[in-house]
Amino acid sequence: MSAFPTSTTVLDSVLFRDAFGTRAMREVFSDLRLIERYAEVEVALAKAEARCGVIPVEAAEQIAERTNVAAFDFDLLRQETDVVGYPILPLVHQMAKQCGEAGRYVHWGATTQDIMDTAVVLQLRDGLGIIEDDIAALRGILVDLSKKYRDTPMAGRTHLQQALPVTFGYKTAIWLAAFDRHAVRLAELKPRALVGQFAGAAGTLASLGDKGFEVQKALCEELGLGVPVSTWHVARDGLAEAVNYLALVTGTLGKIALDIMIMASTEFGEVYEPFVMGRGASSTMPQKRNPISSELMLAAAKAVRQHAGLMLDAMVQDFERATGPWHAEWMAIPESFVLTAGALHQARFALGGLIVDGKRMADNLDVSRGLIVAEAVMMGLAPAIGRQEAHDVVYDACRVANDKGLTLAEALAADDRVASRIDRATIDRLTAPKNYLGLAPEMVDRVLTSVKR
């Protein structure tokens, strides 16, 4: 049976893993990479302690030279982790054995959570780097869409009803502005989240005497991480912020996905995901072209939202070392990063090759026969007949247009209160949806120039 796939989650499934994640992000959070990070922190600790005169320099050199993760007995590591409940003591056993006499100095003055927390922060750094690159690429795609469709009219919709005309570029510029903010958030997040952890058994660095802060600083320098102001064994806001940041990113992707899916529905037909032979095909309906990437983006948004809540719950920890909430992070953090990377990958595909049907957008804009710009007509009539009478006239005209299947222009032209004051050319101009875009195109420009691109 071992020759058959045995994964139980979509994140590692041979069927679904590339739909819900990416190879690069899975690598960051893989078992092997995590164990390598544990060993990397232990080696960096030995080097830091040697620099500070806590352990012999020769011992640190031996620990660095002899530690070989590839030579670990992973089955034994698994068995001992199952017994101990944590992987660091079993890892230290194998490192100490590899390092011979110097092995006595492995893990000197540290506690399990110091090593695990710092390793996770190293994973965060790599994971956030991937997210940052994906967001930068997606912003570039959205810039191009916003420029190209700056003046492409379409129906703006509120409560799923046509409201007022907008442009498709206006819509994509709103998406772009959100990701501009996500880029800023990420830059602000890093100094708070990418901080090392080294504090000892109860977080007081007691085992290192007056060398504690010096070693802590040296360790963080070895790893290129920020130095903590205080022990964060039970202060998990940095990690919780990181996962909640991912929830914001996937939340925006979910909103985009929902828009695309509705706009791609048969009755709308305004946009489509890129065509790839067989993608989105139905097993029974040959005509189907399902918006697969958008569906995956929306699913990821829902899953990461759940993990964001779990991370907030995991912040509620008891005294100086948690009895359970910490373990919840082990599930939430890797899955959130993989799902977010997968959603960004799907967004880059869907938006990078998005098929936009401007004619269908124009046709849909005309579906209401001019009623979508009733507000424009009312404001155009107001100077001639007064605001309140203009409201009543347009209200009556809308009702007549609906009852008799007329255009709003035809209904207005048939009303003496309008025809006696305004010529037909003016009526036609007022009832043309493309003439009532407000500042939508200018808002696109403002988004495009709001940050250095």
Q: Alpha-carbon distance 292 to 297, whole Å?
A: 9
Give 271's contacts (C-beta < 8 A, 6+ positions apart): 260, 263, 264, 354, 355, 356, 357
Which is the catalytic residue, given 2, 30, 93, 159? 159
Q: Which of 271, 292, 297 is nearest to 168 (CA)?
A: 271
Q: Alpha-carbon distance 264 to 356, whole Å?
A: 10
Q: What is the dihedral of CA 140, 342, 264, 142, to 10 degrees?
A: -10
Q: Give long-range contacts, CB 8 A cutoff, 24+ apart: 318-321.
A: 318/234, 319/234, 320/202, 320/203, 320/233, 320/234, 321/113, 321/202, 321/233, 321/234
Q: Give long-range contacts, CB 8 A cutoff, 24+ apart: 413-419.
A: 417/385, 417/389, 417/393, 418/381, 418/393
| 345 annotated active-site | no
Q: Give the DSSP letter of residue 202.
A: T
Taking the CA of residue 417 as centre, how many other CA atoms within 13 Å lie in the half-sphere pointing to its CB?
A: 16
Whether 349 contacts 293, CB under 8 Å: yes
Q: E strand or H helix at 426, and its extent?
A: helix 424-430
> How many other C-beta atoms are found inside a 10 Å radius of the C-beta of residue 438?
14
What type of residue is 326? W
Which is the catalytic residue, given 30, 107, 230, 282? 282
Whether 426 contacts 409, CB under 8 Å: no
Residue with tokens 């190209």: 148
Distances (CA, A) of 328 to 85, 140, 325: 14, 36, 5
CA angle 7, 12, 14 (to 5 degrees): 75
Start-to-end CA span in the chain (Å): 53
Residue with tokens 């600790």: 45
Q: Alpha-carbon distance 148 to 142, whole Å?
A: 10
| 2 annotated active-site | no
Answer positive or negative: Cα dihedral of 65, 80, 315, 311.
Answer: positive
Active site residues: 159, 282
